[in-house]
Structures are given as C-alpha cells and as structure tokens.
C-alpha cells in the first residue's frame, strides 16, 4: 500500500519522554507522567477531573459503572458509531437502545432519542462521530428534563466545540480514546473526565480493582484493572503539548481534500457549517452521491492505485448481534453508512502525497 489510511505521528517529544521514563524504571501504572498527563488533559478541557485508563472502551465502561448503570436499565446509543459504544453498555448488564442519526451531522438525532425514552432509560451516549459535535443543546435538554444522565463519547472529536464549549464538558462523564488512529494517541489508552468529585473517585476505584484507596488490599467493589501505564502516558504528554498544532494539521488535510475535490459533484464533504458546531478532522469523511455499489467501486479503484480508504462503520442495528436493540425505525444511519467513505488522513503525508491521492481520485471520476 502506497498510502495508508492513517498512521501515528510521533514527531515531538514522544521518544524523549518515553526513554526518560524507561531509564528511570517507571514502566508500569505508577509514575509522574500519568499524574501529569491527567492534569494537563484536565487543564486543556478546563475540567476538574481527568482519569487515565487503558483504552476508550474501558473509559465508557467506567463512566457507566460510576453512574450506577446496571441490569434493568436502558442506555440510548446512536446507530452510527464504533461498536465500543454499545459494547460498554452491554458489559454493565444494561440494555442498549439504538436510535437513528441526523441527516446533516450524522450524529444521534435528538427527536429519536426522545422517542426512545421509557421509565427504564437511565443514560444516553451521544457520539461525536467523525469529529462532528452532536446537537448538545437539544440532547442535553431532553436528558435533563427526563432525569437521564449523559455520557459523551468523544473518542473521535477531541478539541471539537459546540457553542464555543469543548466537547467533553457537557456529559456527567465524558470519554476519550488514544488509540493509534485517534486525534492524540498513546498507542492504546483512554480518559474519563468529569466535574463531579464523587464520580471521579468511583471511576478511580473501579479502575484499580475496587481497592479502598485508603486501605490497601481491602476491596470494596468488584473492580477492574483499567490502568494506563507511565510509558503510555509519556507518549500522551508529548502529544498533548502539541495538541493545537495537531488539530490544525488535521484540519488542513481535510481542507486540501475539500478544496481540490469541490468540483466533483459525486463527492459530498462532511458538513462543517452547522450552527454552533465546530468540528475537528478525525478521518476525512465524504459521502458518495449514489449507492453502496458506487462507494465500494471507488474504494476498489483507489485500492488498485495503492490508496487505502475506509467505508463508514456498519450501522449497529444491521449486525445480527445488536439487531434486537433497535427500538424505532432507522433509515438515515443505514443510508449514510452505505454512502460514506474515509480518505487517507495521515499527518506524516507531505503535500506531494496528498496531491498524488487527489490526482488518483480525480482520474477515477474523469474516466467515467
């Protein structure tokens, strides 16, 4: 493959901090870089508590546990997301309820969320998909009016804003992922953030085997080992100190695609003009004017030219293991998922690489 969809961009202090942690022998889940990484992440979002964890899925699981979500409860999730969102709900024993998305933002539809509420609904997980913030005003209001806790899934949208406020500041708990292809990476890693001290303490308790923090080896809950290591936090620290530059760099890649493909009417870029929402670029996302066959043909043609792309996530409700969790009719997610494509979004690209990719895409459309 000439051009991968994405790859980690580690051109700052990553290896310096990592080598220092190694040479100081702090390789496990204690060490000052974890504390620093949590503190700086909290400062970046301007939120009191940030708790680093093994990965984004664990962050979601801990968020739900800390809110007391359990068997018999219902948790609303959008149809278009990565499976971790719904899996975390299932881990707690609660029942996920899948709802449709908005046509313009591809995020959870507030109306469909509202329609799915029953007396058992305890939480909702809006997902800021492909870097696009959800309609936080509408979703927050419905949740508040119905006494439902909100957990934001910010795995793909670190730095995005709604109404001038960063995503992650709206939920009771909000969750981030630092997987290799996310906006910042620690290899594998995640973060929970919250304004609530008691929730933060519960997350820490469940992260560390349910062990009483004041009485070692005395367990007061059945917990997990969801700790991040000091080595991973070293990478995270180096990424976080460059976050504004990294986000700008990603946005510039997207702008390059948008500008150079704007005359191809078959390719419709992700909306970046929705009221109150300031998206970030995770993976550059376009819709094909046409159907799945056409989308898959483009993926195949680009593959032949050594360019890796990715179709959008399959809608959860299409997969047999999740199908029964759908409550109302779903149509928009099914349509968007079949028409969506992610183009290579690799910060290691030179401008010439991007030009090559654009050239290939244009050739495919010209020859039609």
Ligand X SMILES: *Cc1c(COP(=O)(O)O)cnc(C)c1O
Note the helical H segments in 174-291.
Answer: 197-207, 230-240, 243-260
Among 29, 33, 57, 174, binds ligand X (CB under 6 A): 57
Q: Which is nearer to ligand X, 156 or 346 (CB)?
A: 156
**81 binds ligand X, rule: CB under 6 A:** yes
Q: Which is nearer to ligand X, 88 or 354 (CB)?
A: 88
Closest CA to 283 of 44, 1, 5: 5
Q: Which is nearer to ligand X, 62 or 298 (CB)?
A: 62
Q: Which is nearer to ligand X, 173 or 261 (CB)?
A: 173
**132 binds ligand X, rule: CB under 6 A:** no
The region of 22-30, 81-89, 267-275, 360-368 touching ligand X under the rule CB under 6 A is 81-89
**229 binds ligand X, rule: CB under 6 A:** no
245, 184 in Cβ contact below 8 A? no
The region of 12-20, 78-86, 202-210, 250-258 touching ligand X under the rule CB under 6 A is 78-86
Neighbours of 216 (CB within 10 A): 7
The region of 5-13, 148-156, 165-173, 320-328 touching ligand X under the rule CB under 6 A is 148-156
Among 33, 85, 109, 121, binds ligand X (CB under 6 A): 85
Using CB under 6 A as the binding rule, the residues of this chain from 150 to 189 that contact ligand X are: 153, 155-156, 177, 179
User: Reading across the β-sheet that carries 49-53, which strands appear in turn?
Assistant: 49-53, 190-194, 173-177, 149-153, 121-124, 74-78, 95-99
175, 153 in Cβ contact below 8 A? yes
**62 binds ligand X, rule: CB under 6 A:** no
**55 binds ligand X, rule: CB under 6 A:** yes
Closest CA to 91 of 226, 182, 242, 219: 226
Whole-angstrom distance, CA of residue 150 vs CA of residue 75: 9
Closest CA to 50 of 186, 199, 167, 200: 200
Q: Which is nearer to ligand X, 31 or 189 (CB)?
A: 189
Among 76, 86, 123, 127, binds ligand X (CB under 6 A): 127
- Phi first, then psi, for residue 75 (nearest 5°) are -130, 125
Q: Degrees (nearest 5) of the Cα angle 12, 17, 19?
A: 115
Residues in contact with ligand X, counted by CB under 6 A, come to a total of: 14
Whole-angstrom distance, CA of residue 364 vs CA of residue 368: 7
Show the binding pattern over residues 267-306: x = contacts ligand X (CB under 6 A), - = does not: ----------------------------------------
Q: What is the DSSP letter of 71?
A: T
Minimum Å gap between C-beta 145 and ligand X is 26
**56 binds ligand X, rule: CB under 6 A:** yes
**149 binds ligand X, rule: CB under 6 A:** no
**317 binds ligand X, rule: CB under 6 A:** no
Whole-angstrom distance, CA of residue 43 vs CA of residue 45: 5
Q: Is 68 left (phi over 0), alpha (psi -120 to 50) or beta?
A: left
Residues forming contacts to ligand X in the complex (CB under 6 A) are 55-57, 81-82, 84-85, 127, 153, 155-156, 177, 179, 190
């Amino acid at each position: 493959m000439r051009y991968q969809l994405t790859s980690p961009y580690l051109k700052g202090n990553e290896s310096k901090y990592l080598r220092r942690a190694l040479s100081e022998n702090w390789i496990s889940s204690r060490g000052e870089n974890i504390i620093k990484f949590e503190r700086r992440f909290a400062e970046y979002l301007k939120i009191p508590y940030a708790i680093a964890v093994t990965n984004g899925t664990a962050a979601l699981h801990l968020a739900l546990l800390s809110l007391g979500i359990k068997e018999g409860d219902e948790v609303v999730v959008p149809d278009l997301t990565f499976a971790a969102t719904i899996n975390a709900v299932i881990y707690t024993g609660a029942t996920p309820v899948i709802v449709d998305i908005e046509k313009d933002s591809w995020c959870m539809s507030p109306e469909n969320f509202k329609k799915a509420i029953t007396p058992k609904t305890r939480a909702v997980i809006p997902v800021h998909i492909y870097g696009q913030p959800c309609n936080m005003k509408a979703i927050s209001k419905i949740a508040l009016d119905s006494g439902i806790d909100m957990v934001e899934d910010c795995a793909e949208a670190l730095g995005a804003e709604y109404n001038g406020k960063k995503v992650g500041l709206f939920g009771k708990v909000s969750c981030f992922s630092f997987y290799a292809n996310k906006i910042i990476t620690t290899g594998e890693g995640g973060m929970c953030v919250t304004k609530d001290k008691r929730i933060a303490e519960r997350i820490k308790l469940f992260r560390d085997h349910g062990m009483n923090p004041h009485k070692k080896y005395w367990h007061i809950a059945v917990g997990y080992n969801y700790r991040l290591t000091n080595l991973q936090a070293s990478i995270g620290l180096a990424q976080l100190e460059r976050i504004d530059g990294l986000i700008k760099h990603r946005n510039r890649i997207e702008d390059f695609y948008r500008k150079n493909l704007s005359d191809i009417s078959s390719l419709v870029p992700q909306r970046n003009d929705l009221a109150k929402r300031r998206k970030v670029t995770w993976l550059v996302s376009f819709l094909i004017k046409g159907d799945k066959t056409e989308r898959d043909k483009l993926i195949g043609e680009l593959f032949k030219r050594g360019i890796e792309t990715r179709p959008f996530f399959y809608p959860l409700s299409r997969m047999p293991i999740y199908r029964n969790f759908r409550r109302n009719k779903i149509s928009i997610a099914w349509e968007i998922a079949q028409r969506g494509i992610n183009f290579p979004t690799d910060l290691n690209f030179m401008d010439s690489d991007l030009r090559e990719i654009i050239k290939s895409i244009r050739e495919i459309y010209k020859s039609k």
